[in-house]
Amino acid sequence: MLLLLLGICLGSLHPVYVHLFTRRSPGLHSLLPPGLTPAPISTIPPFPSLPEPDAPIPDIVHYVYIKDQAEDLHYAIYLAVRSAMIKLQPDRIMFHCVRQHPSGYWWDRLLEWEGAGGAGFAVEVVKAREVDWVGPGRTPVKHYAHKADILRLEILLKYGGIYLDMDMFIIRPFAPYGLMRQDVVMGMEVGRLDPLLMLDGPGSDDGNHPNGLCNAVILARPGAELLKRWLTTYEEGFQAIYWSYNSVQVPWLLAKLYPTLITVLSDQAFFWPIWSADDVKTIHETTEYDFLESGQLAYHAWGHLAMGYLVELDPETVQARDTSFTRLLRTFQGKDEVARWRSATEAD
């Protein structure tokens, strides 16, 4: 009987869990910090004794690619990179490739990118180092995800800019919110819901305590102090057995220890809806969520969970399927995309 009552209780909560993103009252939490005033036309301070302001974060977008063999770039990933090209308008896009770079039709299209309004720039392919170990004790780094975690910090320390996972879709530019004038910017990633705390009702948000800061998006100036301290934690205490310890939980700890070194955004800025199987399914099988009306800056597609949906997409299926996700993707498609793709596939 006790198990039956428990099942009924959890079952009554299940719809709230399935549609997590409907729980919040729109006015309950601020999605983004207040926008800063526009940068002045001149960087010369109005008073001689004032120092010049720090240079903004460079307009460089970085991706890390680690594959033993060249693989064709999926269409959805092409659109993710294209979203950064369109919305961020960077000065440079750098693919840091350890062994191979991507291949195939959509990779070639990225290399041929002409820029919005014909303002062309080249996608740069940069050789990245092999990360086999870390720290003075030469702790082995075996999984490609952990290798990429370390590389992104080294890359941002050297160049500065915006690091993006390849399944990040940019919805709005970052500069108007003053983010390019911070030292380091990251977004919260929520933890698992506590069903008991959800008894407070929709909008309570009590179950969404941050699990950490997700490193799928990092904005940083070159040489940022927080990144130096973060990289030190890999060198002194890399924990391979705990999947997200160094990459997600440690930056959250550092943000609390050194709050002046980083700007932390709401979980809804970059990583909403979350990674739960129910949320991923809802995004790809319904039209319930509206990315363009949400106010968020980007969407992490949680590729390790949603890859089954992502690999099915091509220019025609994006047009034919009506889901929350395909509605977002259509905003990044070129006008002649379907025709060009058909011509290329027929030629093959």
- Digit-coded pLDDT (tens) for 329-338: 999 998 888 9
Q: CATH number for the 54-269+299-304 domain, one of 3.30.70, 3.90.550, 3.30.460, 1.10.1060?
A: 3.90.550
Q: What is the pLDDT of residue 318?
A: 95
Mean pLDDT of 236-244: 85
Q: Among 48-57, 202-211, 290-299, 314-323, where is mean pLDDT lowest?
A: 202-211
- pLDDT band at residue 65, thresholds of 50, 70 and 90? very high
Tell me: the pLDDT tens digits for 82-138? 999 999 999 999 999 998 999 999 999 998 875 544 455 678 999 999 999 999 989
* Res. 158: pLDDT tops 70: yes
Residues 109, 72: Cα–Cα separation, whole Å? 12
- Report the chain's C-alpha Rg in angstroms: 21
- pLDDT band at residue 240, thresholds of 50, 70 and 90? confident
For the chain, give the mean pLDDT.
Answer: 83
Residues 308, 310: Cα–Cα separation, whole Å? 6
Tell me: the pLDDT tens digits for 46-62? 788 888 778 999 999 99
Mean pLDDT of 20-25: 42
Mean pLDDT of 176-193: 88
The DSSP secondary structure of 60-114, one letter per residue, reads EEEEEE--SS--BPPHHHHHHHHHHHHHH--SEEEEEESS---BSHHHHHHHT--
* Res. 14: pLDDT tops 60: no
List Cβ neighbours of 66 (8 Å cut-off, separation of 6 or more): 97, 98, 99, 128, 144, 147, 148
Do 263 and 179 contact (CB within 8 A), yes or no?
Answer: yes
* Res. 322: pLDDT tops 60: yes
Residues 67, 166: Cα–Cα separation, whole Å? 13
* Res. 68: pLDDT tops 70: yes
* Res. 37: pLDDT tops 70: no
* Res. 30: pLDDT tops 70: no
- pLDDT band at residue 199, thresholds of 50, 70 and 90? low
Q: Which residue has the higher pLDDT, 206 or 157?
A: 157
